[in-house]
Chains A and B, each alone.
Chain A
Amino acid sequence: MKVGIVGIGHGKFGNRSDATVQELAFEPFKLAIDDAKNLRRENIDALVVGSVPEYHMQRSLPGVVAEYVGMNPKSTWLTEAACASGSAAIRTAYMAIKSGMHDIVAVIGVQKMRELSTAEILALMGRVGDVQWESIFGTTFPGYYALYANRHMFEFGTTREQIGLVALKNHYYGSMNPNAFFQKEITMEKVLKSDDVAYPLKVFDCCANADGAACIIMANETNTKKYTDTPLWFEGLGSASAQMSVLRRPNLVEIPSAIEAAKQAYKQAKVKPSDIQVAEVHDCFTIAEIMAYENLGFCPKGKGGKFIEEKQSYIGGKTPVNVDGGLKAKGHPVGATGVSMATEIVKQLRGDAGKRQVSGAEIGLTHNVGGIGQYTFVHILKR
């Protein structure tokens, strides 16, 4: 029994000071129901919410979201895996359907990151790593990725410019995505002249905190065929973890959870990295996308810099990556990101991606990393 997607919805990402978190959640949920064929809200058995709770004033998010979108008294719950919470939600929906417990499940990834004060954000930012041995020295998210970047440059000769090329590509594609936070192209000069955040990373190497929501509605095989004429199927789902502390990682040039999750997903889907025609990867920082090329097997280890330099991750290259702008241009409302990735792959495989369409794409992949690599979910979708 296969598990498919019958409908998708995507809200505007960015500074959404016009809406509460549940109001944000409503937007893609409504779009996803409309996107399916003759699906009524009453047909949906359960609602899984992917989100990181500490960013919200409202506690226990599924409660308020389920009420606002009119899903009571149906089952609802939250999944959390830091920045991979959206993909974790998709994985639990898959399990729920595969087990036969539910036939149709809605997944909403939602996050409002601009609700907290700057002081609260700065305090949260100071506790992203291992708080016992690392945060006490003032580590930050970009700081950890800067550790990866410096080591990657040292071991493989990756250059500062190669890392910056990721930002150029993703802003180029972001300019074609009306839901993206930033819809303007940028230049290398702009990247290299932007303010330092954590050397060697600069402002334009970092994705932006954003508000936003995305939704997919998943179903078992029978219901997928019933509620859509363009079914897309989950063919491979990989999930793995890695050490919270960078001090206990085998190395600082790759994300071990990504390598393991990818291996599982390829095996289940019976495909190779070279079979992937379009991919959405977790570019929370530019260096993260370079490591993703390598960890997913799109290029050999250490060759990620060259891969982008040769434009292999552009449309027309070996594996087009983040052709919706990625986290970099879309913004990163953490809980929404994994679900947003899935909606883009659906658009691509349906041939509905407009100007940024990868022509004839039939197999797509999402790669969603939580935190500094503690969790990775890799999903492979086929037409």
Chain B
Amino acid sequence: MPFKYFGKINFTPYTKVDAFADYLQKGKLMGTKCKKCGEIYFPPKADCIKCMNDKVDWIEFSGKGTLHSYAKIFAAPKGFEDMAPYTIGVVDLKEGGRLLSWLKDISDREIKIGMPVKVVPRIFEEIQEIKLYYTIEKL
């Protein structure tokens, strides 16, 4: 269950899209595509909401997209106090779907909704266990 390595804190170690974390560790950002109707999902889903088919393929995402919205969190929940304040962003991905993560190396002044961004797969280096994540960065 590699998915347990996804996130600074992981709440869902068991999932049908377990392979997502394997790919992420290899530097690949993957979504799913319904084998029947072709609907593309990010975050990946094992089951298609649209046609209810339960067979999907993994497809690689470029990580490119535009910033849809953001929020700078000052009051952090448990497990994130050490990082506060941090800015989360929502990205409209080029291939479809959306992603939420932290903005990295973008100053408050530079943040503009609609700006082009890229998603970068990462590993927490300061944490001993393997902890995978991704960041939103300037394109």
Contacts and interface: CB of A to CB of B under 8 A. Distances in A.
Contacts of B79: 123, 126, 138
B24 to A, nearest CB: 12
Contact of B75 (A136, A140, A148): A140
A89 B8 CA distance: 37
B134 to A, nearest CB: 9
A200 to B, nearest CB: 8
Contacts of A140: 73, 75-77
Place the interface of chain A in its size category.
Answer: 35 or more
A101 B103 CA distance: 55
Interface in A147-197: 147-151, 154, 195-197
Given A150-B71, A150-B113, A137 B101 contact: yes
Contacts of A248: 98
Nearest to A152: B69
B31 to A, nearest CB: 11
A252 B68 CA distance: 9
B77 A122 contact: yes
Interface string A298-314: 00000000000000000
Nearest to A247: B98
B11 A131 contact: yes
B83 interface: yes
Contact of B113 (A123, A154, A246): A154
B15 interface: yes
Interface in B66-119: 68-81, 83-88, 90, 97-102, 113-114
Nearest to B102: A137
Contacts of A252: 68-69, 90
B62 interface: no
Contacts of B83: 138
A131 B78 CA distance: 13
A132 interface: yes
Find the residue from B8, B70, B71, B88 having the highest chain A CB count within 10 A: B71
B53 interface: no
B74 A147 contact: no
A150 B70 contact: yes
B139 interface: no
A146 B71 CA distance: 5
A126 B80 CA distance: 9
Contacts of B71: 142-144, 146-147, 149-150, 198-199, 201
Given A123-B78, A126-B78, A132-B11, A137 B43 contact: no
A88 B7 CA distance: 34
Nearest to A123: B78
A135 interface: yes
Interface in B1-43: 6-12, 15, 42-43
B88 A139 contact: yes
A139 B90 CA distance: 11
Contact of A150 (B11, B69, B75): B69
Contacts of B80: 126, 138
Contact of A247 (B81, B90, B102, B113): B90
A271 B18 CA distance: 50
B61 interface: no
Given A196-B85, A198-B72, A252-B68, A151 B113 contact: yes
Contacts of A230: none
B6 A136 contact: yes
Of the listed residues B74, B81, B83, B133, the one surrounded by the most CB atoms of chain A closer than 10 A to its CB is B74
A40 B87 CA distance: 56
Given A136-B7, A245-B43, A197 B70 contact: no
A134 interface: yes
5 contacts: A125-B77, A138-B86, A143-B71, A151-B68, A154-B114
Interface of A: 119, 122-123, 125-127, 131-140, 142-144, 146-151, 154, 195-199, 201, 245-248, 252
Given A126-B78, A143-B71, A252-B69, 19 more contacts: A126-B77, A135-B9, A136-B10, A136-B11, A137-B100, A137-B102, A138-B80, A139-B100, A143-B73, A144-B71, A146-B72, A147-B69, A147-B70, A148-B69, A150-B71, A150-B113, A197-B75, A198-B74, A245-B43
